[in-house]
Amino acid sequence: MSMNDTLYLQLDANVIVRHPHVYLQDIARLSCTNPVVLNRLRVLAVANLDPERPGRYVMSVMDLIELIRKKEPALTIAPLGEADFILTYEKPSAHHMILRVIKIAFICLASFFGAAFSIMTFNTDADVGTLFAQIYAQVTGQTSSGFTVLEISYSIGLGLGVLFFFNHFGHMKITSDPTPMQVQMRCYEDDINKTIIEDISRQHSNQESS
């Protein structure tokens, strides 16, 4: 191995693994000027988790650098991305998949009925029915039956407005931009990751101080 060999190590904030024996190639993107060294480091063991304890584990890029140094002491390491990251171990099982489907179905139902309830309460508070009846009577001079072009166009426009705003219908997207839901979920995931890492760091600091 040449003294000028460099390993580029890129890490994400949250890495999901489904096997308790974790290797470097499972949690990081690797690039090295020496392909022989790269192949050796791909199968470098970085963690042996309890197979019966799925969950989140916080690791630091410094831990990985120490392991790599022991195996390749002359290698130059250039870490990229996150300094601390979360290793999420999910044990694959049919029960887990069934539970995931149930969660998705529950969230869909809650979102649907929650949105419908919000729209109905807004219409009630704003008295949209009475407003449409007055507009219809002023424009046509007739009494509204409650099922006129105003109510129909309002209902269609409301549905189309939701589709255009969320930029998502089934597997189809109106534009290639991320949907507002995707943006909010990404922000939520980032906040969760930062909170978990900060909590673990504070626990370690308290243990060292005591």
pLDDT in tens, 71-92: 888 888 888 877 888 888 887 6
Read off the amino acid at residue 117. F
d(Cα 133, Cα 136) in Å, to the nearest integer?
A: 5
* 50, 29 contact by CB (below 8 A): no
Dihedral over Cα of 118, 121, 126, 128: its sign: positive
Residue 3 has pLDDT above 60, yes or no: no
Dihedral over Cα of 72, 77, 80, 86: its sign: positive
Q: Provide mean pLDDT across the span 23-30.
A: 90
CATH 3.30.1020.10 fits 6-89, yes or no: no
Per-residue model confidence (pLDDT) at position 207:
60
**Of 7-11, 27-31, 80-84, 90-94, which gets the smallest average pLDDT?**
90-94
Q: Where are the alpha helices (DSSP H) in the chain?
A: 24-27, 35-42, 61-71, 94-126, 128-140, 149-166, 180-209
Residue 87's H or E segment, with its range, is: strand 84-89
CATH 2.60.480.10 domain range(s) in the chain: 6-89
